[in-house]
Structure 1
């Protein structure tokens, strides 16, 4: 086993762990690892990263699907809507100078770090009301036990002199289609725009775009976070395969290196899926955001002087 392939093993394992645990985002580490640690050119790295991302997403997708956390119809529709962006991004990437590509990639990593921090803050705010509600229920239960002679609200309603509440006035009649049609069209437009943006990033940078897919599936489609993570892996797989098909024949890939890298990513993805039940998602997200920020600063320092 060569030194280069041996170095690819821990890199692939780390990327797979993040891919399985966070449902994307970890794939953004594939390009810097291939360029700075494994000696690949910028264009070969963005193409090779697609192989790593596609293979690494399969075990995680299988685990999430087995647990019922994958919406196949929504994922395939989202991935199909992004194929045009994937094609354009792949063609555009081949025409860009390597230094420009790596500088843009450093900028993308800054954006990903900010998105991860915002995602962590949203999760923290969403978890706080649930904690407060649970504390309130405990307090209410204690108050009822402390005052057993308190009057039952149902008895107060049945007592003489009690009057039933006045029902609210009926709203004016409006045809449902006049309200729902513009809402549906706006929602479809948002989904298509987001899917196209994810496909563009996948084709241009060789990343899965999970940092965009998970929030989009949560906010636009209304999926819960565990389901959004499982479904995002299906979208990442579709986008990666589309970008690989577009780039076919445009360069020579180091298949022994990529095979070892992708195999470790697949193992890491399986293990990362197990981590989601053992480690808080906020801890993983915060640690990953710090790592991405550090890599972005390093890449920008190395690429900008060469422009």
Structure 2
């Protein structure tokens, strides 16, 4: 029963993050699966991808209905990351667990730092679209998704703003398309490990994450984006510090 309550609570938080910010859910889902629900890092990254894929699809639908998804640009950005995501997903099974944990902590810290600098991100978005840089960023995000089980939305949103000149609302909605595509590509290479996962925990986690995503979208309409990002960034810094300490001790 305790595991069920923890899964339901963690799922709600993950969904809120994805719905409100267009990313960040997986950098909370994986630590929750490891430290609260007893998953190994390898199993947690696979389960995290499943959770984030289902939740992102729900949030994508909500944002698409509001006209906040730029399908053509988002699809092109995502296409650059599909193959790297699949390749990294296949390689993830051969990476030591301590390395996965350390790398994940570093990504969580980078996510927090990125979210604490929204003003700089917005100012740099006036430089025009750079297709080569966009393709490189898409490939890099795909690699992170495949290797660490992170959707990459916390990096996709600022990249869409700075490289493609998106406004914040369009960047959040379009990032969900990128997250979904990369996560599905990575999951395709991990299908053999999915059957061994604890679905009695993952199922409820997904359920409350989906509900949380709808609430997150409504929250985003009421609370300023910068304020949400600062709160989330503080939480991520704490998570990153805890995981790094655990990895080196």
2:48 is matched with 49
Which moved further from structure 2: 202-211 or 110-119?
Answer: 110-119
Gaps of 5+ in 2: none
Q: Which residue of 1 aligns with 2:213?
A: 269
1:120 Cα offset (Å)? 5.0
User: How far apart are residue 255 of structure 1 and its match?
Assistant: 1.7
Q: Is there any run of 5+ residues in structure 1 with no aligned partner, and where?
A: 127-182
Larger helix proportion of the pair: 2
Point out which structure has higher relative CO (alpha carbons under 8 A, 6+ apart): 1
**Contact between 1:24 and 1:208, CA under 8 Å: does it hold in 2?**
yes
Contact 1:120 1:286 in 2 (8 A): no
Separation in structure 2 between the aligned mates of residue 258 and residue 73 of structure 1, nearest angstrom: 32
CA distance in 2, matches of 1:250, 1:7: 23
1:255 aligns with 2:212: no
What is the aligned partner in structure 1 of residue 185 from structure 2? 242
CA shift digits 1:231-276 (9 cap, x unpaired): 1001111111111111111452112211111111110011000011
The answer for the alignment partner of 1:167 in structure 2 is none
Distance in 1 separating the partners of 2:5 and 2:62:
27
Map 1:175-190 to 2 at 5 A: 187-190=130-133
**Residue correspondence of structure 1 range 194-233 to structure 2 within 5 A:** 194-233=137-176
Identify which of 211, 225, 228 aligns with 1:284: 228
How many residues matched?
A: 245
For 1:213, what is the secondary structure of its paired residue? helix
Using the size of structure 1 for normalisation, the TM-score is 0.76
- Deviation of 1:121 after TM superposition, in Å, equals 5.2
Q: Any runs of at least 4 consecutive aligned residues in structure 1 with deviations exceeding 4 A, and if so which?
A: 120-123
Contact 1:20 1:270 in 2 (8 A): yes
Q: Which residue of 1 aligns with 2:247?
A: 303
Return the alpha-carbon distance in structure 2 between the equivalents of residues 5 and 240 of structure 1. Answer: 25
Structural RMSD (CA): 1.7
Report the secondary structure of 2:11's partner residue.
helix
Q: Highest CA radius of gyration, 1 or 2?
A: 1
Q: Normalising to structure 2: TM-score of the pair?
A: 0.93
Report SS of the residue matched to 2:164. coil
Distance 1:268 1:284 in 2: 15
Tell me the residue number matched to 2:69.
70
The alpha carbon displacement at 1:221 in A equals 1.6
1:76-225 equivalences in 2 (<5 Å): 76-119=75-118, 122=121, 187-225=130-168
Contact 2:21-2:172 within 8 A present in 1 as well:
yes
